[in-house]
Each structure stands twice: as C-alpha cells, then as structure tokens.
Amino acid sequence: MSVAGDIPTFGVAPRGQGFAIFGAPYDDAACLAGDGTQQAPIALGATGDTLSFSSYFDGWGYVHLFRNQNGKMTELDTYAIPQAHDPAFASGFGDLSVHEVATSHEVANRLYFSYYSGGFRVAEIENDKIVEKGHYIDPDGNNFWGVQVFRSNGQEYVAASDRDSGLWIFKFNG
C-alpha cells in the first residue's frame, strides 16, 4: 500500500493470525464450539503489532488456452504482450491486461482481444499455441475493454469499445 501516517487499515487474515498480531491466545476448537456470543480477549481500540505490506510485480494478466477432453481441462498455452512481463511497465502505462476475447464467426481458430492499453489484438490458435497475427494501438494510446464480432454486407468486422475514445471498427486483412 502506498500509505503513510495514522490511517486506520483493515485486513483479512486467518483467525489465529489475527489473535497473534495482538499477542492473544487462540484455541480453534473452542472457537468452533462456541455460539458466537463470546468476545475475543482483545480490547476494542487495542493496538497490535506494526504490520508491513509490500508488493512485487509478477506480470499483468494472461490469456490461457485450455483443451477440454473427457471433462478434464489441460492448459495448452498462455499469451501476453511483451510489456506485460516487464517490471518497467508495472505502473504508469495503463492496464496491460485483456478484458475480453471474441472469436471469429468465419475462422474458427481466430481470436480478437480488447487489451486495454495494449490495444486491439488479433491471434490465431496454431498447433495448440496462441500466435499473434496483428495489433493496433493508436499513436495517442488506447483503452480497449470490449470486442464484438459482427457481419455487414458479407464481411466480418470487429467493434472494439475504447473507454477513452469511443467505438472503433476493425476488419482483419491478415
């Protein structure tokens, strides 16, 4: 958290850990056997241990490709743009994650992604791998969060909604 000073915080931890923060004894069996009316042996307003929180960058979101065979899911591949793996892009560059995936009505293995600040992306599944085939990012940036495939005059198009600049219409020519 990016917090300094006397700001009250609330966290969720296992019950035993919560008691330990205040140096109070905890008996799980007694707790589970109780009727919920007994108060914890910690005074209201008590100050417990000083807690420190930190974070680390382990990448933005990924698209996962699974095979469902005989009711068993097997992960085949993942897909993310290079910036999604780079700690230099952890903050200050917008969301570098996929919000939505739409599938082509014409090409069964073609995928269209709204990739927030990563733009509009097109990929195809080849040999159980997600392979990028094209992308678009406006020079002024994008914030795509929705994609919808539709047909007009016999052609397939993709409507991509950008939270900052409105609706974009794409036709993949690859």
Give the residue extent of every domain in the chain.
Answer: 1-54, 63-170
Q: Between 29 and 55, name the one with better pLDDT.
A: 29
> Does the reported pTM lie above 0.85?
no
Q: Calculate mean pLDDT across residues 10-25.
A: 80
Q: Phi/psi of residue 97, each to 5°?
A: -140, 160
Q: Between 90 and 1, name the one with better pLDDT.
A: 90
98-111 pLDDT per residue, tens: 999 999 999 999 99
Residue 5: predicted pLDDT: 60
Mapped onto helix, strand or coil, the DSSP state of residue 173 is coil
Q: Which two tokens stand for residue 54?
A: 């930190």
- Non-local (6+) Cβ contacts of 78 within 8 A are 62, 63, 64, 65, 130
Q: Between 51 and 144, name the one with better pLDDT.
A: 144
114-140 pLDDT per residue, tens: 999 999 999 999 999 999 999 999 999
Q: How many CA atoms lie within 13 A of 134 on its CB side?
A: 8
Work out the pLDDT band at 4, boundaries 50, 70, 90. Answer: low
136-174 pLDDT per residue, tens: 999 999 999 999 999 999 999 999 999 999 999 999 998
Q: Which two tokens stand for residue 51?
A: 């807690």
- HEC assignment per residue over 77-125: EEECCHHHHCHHHCCCCCCCCCCEEEECCCCCCEEEEECECCCEEEEEE
Work out the pLDDT band at 3, boundaries 50, 70, 90. Answer: low
Residue 1: predicted pLDDT: 42
- Non-local (6+) Cβ contacts of 48 within 8 A are 21, 22, 23, 42
53-101 pLDDT per residue, tens: 777 788 888 899 999 999 999 999 999 999 999 999 988 888 999 999 9
Euclidean distance between CA atoms 61 and 164, whole angstroms: 21
Residue 22: predicted pLDDT: 85
> Which parts of the chain are beta strand (E)?
63-69, 72-79, 100-103, 110-114, 120-126, 129-136, 144-152, 155-162, 166-170
Q: Which two tokens stand for residue 102?
A: 């739409």
